[in-house]
Amino acid sequence: MAFEFTDANFETAALEGGVSVVDFWAEWCGPCRMVTPIIDELAGEYEGKATVGKVNVDNNAETSRKYGVRSIPTIIVLKDGEIFHKHVGTITKAALAAKIDEALAN
């Protein structure tokens, strides 16, 4: 199951070292619902290597604003607190896994 990032825990959970994958989403967003199973699967596959989770944009406006999220889904791969990759729209599991692997290797 994917980690639930919030405005309150984002700094410690996503920005303090390592690789984090953040899916900005909302319940009413159809494409977001298509990405959810991919995020959940990757959360399990990368457990212990990367933090994979979701930010509900309706409930966490501060974090969404900070990262300039205007369209959802937006998926950001963070490495050591910096944006490594940003993708807007749906994405395949293989493409997202490749970006995570790239971030882990660098």
**Catalytic annotation on 48?**
no
| β-bridge partners, 52 | 21
Pairing mode, strands 50-56 and 82-88:
unpaired
**Catalytic annotation on 78?**
no
Pairing mode, strands 19-25 and 3-5:
unpaired
The active-site residue out of 2, 19, 32, 39 is 32
Cβ density class 93-104: b for 16+ within 10 Å, e for less: eeebbebbeebe
Rounded Cα gap, residues 72 and 86, in angstroms: 12
The active-site residue out of 6, 7, 26, 29 is 29
Residues that are catalytic: 29, 32
